[in-house]
Amino acid sequence: MELTNVTDQTTQGPMRRYYTRPRVCQFCTDHSVVIDYKQAEVLRRYISDDGKIRPRRQTGTCAKHQRELARAIKRARHLALLPFTGEILR
């Protein structure tokens, strides 16, 4: 059995270059923004619609600030400032 790799421009289309902007942590660049469990509106941006904490690859935060975010979100959930589940329950 012979394996062939067909690379035809008509089937694949033109090659496109993707420009990825460098990910910079918002909390590292702007030192005035503090991660605090009492700031529920700030923490809501880092929670998905299901109520899960968004991963670093989606939020763009560094490892240090992602740990602080997770800790603050868990504290806010415990104090009932943030929901454990999503907004709409089915």
- Which residues of the chain fall short of a pLDDT of 70? 1-13, 87-90
pTM of the model: 0.71
What DSSP line would sit under 13-46, residue for residue?
------PPPPP--HHHH-TT----TT-HHHHHTT
CA distances from 44 to 18, 32, 78, 89 (A): 30, 18, 15, 17
Which CATH number belongs to the domain containing residue 35 in this structure?
Answer: 4.10.640.10
Q: How many domains does the chain have?
A: 1
pLDDT of residue 6: 56
pLDDT of residue 87: 66
Does a structural domain hold residue 41? yes
Does a structural domain hold residue 8? no
Does a structural domain hold residue 89? no
Does a structural domain hold residue 37? yes
Does a structural domain hold residue 59? yes
